[in-house]
Amino acid sequence: MLKLLTVMLCVLVGMAAAELPSKKYLNLAAIKTMVAAAETEAQKLHVEVTICIVDESGNLLFLEKADGASLNTIQFAQKKARHAAFYRSPSREGAEALKKGNVDVLSFPDFFPNQGGLPIQIDGQTVGAIAASGAKSEIDEAIAQAAIDALLKK
């Protein structure tokens, strides 16, 4: 009887250990939804920007430069998005920290103190980030926020 109980206990523990957690991620449909909303917001605001979406590790998922956006916006958008993904906070907060005199932040890996990148958070979990670059920083962030709002259907 003791052997049977031990075997049953081992089987139950093994089954519980085999259960993997589910992880949310940005799939192609989510990316297309965000891009469409960001493009619409940019058109509404009469600006041409580069839009960048990265996963939670900062890996590039989407990059689009508008015809009228300057070439440097390609790098800026990627840096803003990576900052938001890595630090799980808007890149604006990096700019604010630097303005307060905290120059140490410039030594942080992939730290980019420029407004326009926002983390994409689902159920408290950062699944990626989106950024826009090419307009005033406040407008870049508004474009990124419109994309997140569309994803979350706000």
User: In this predicted model, what pLDDT tens digit does every residue of 84-113 receive, in sequence order?
Assistant: 999 999 999 999 999 999 999 989 999 999
pTM for the predicted model, two decimal places? 0.86
* 45 Cβ contact partners less than 8 Å away, ≥ 6 residues apart: 135, 139, 142, 143
- Place 142 in a pLDDT band, splitting at 50, 70 and 90: very high
Question: For residues 48 and 25, what is the distance between their CA atoms, to the nearest angstrom?
Answer: 28
Residue with tokens 């905290």, as numbered in its chain: 102
CATH for 25-152, options being 3.30.450.150, 3.40.50.2300, 3.40.50.460, 3.40.50.1820: 3.30.450.150
Q: What pLDDT, on the 0 to 100 scale, is given for residue 16?
A: 59
Q: Left (φ > 0), alpha (ψ -120 to 50) or beta: where does 79 sit?
A: alpha
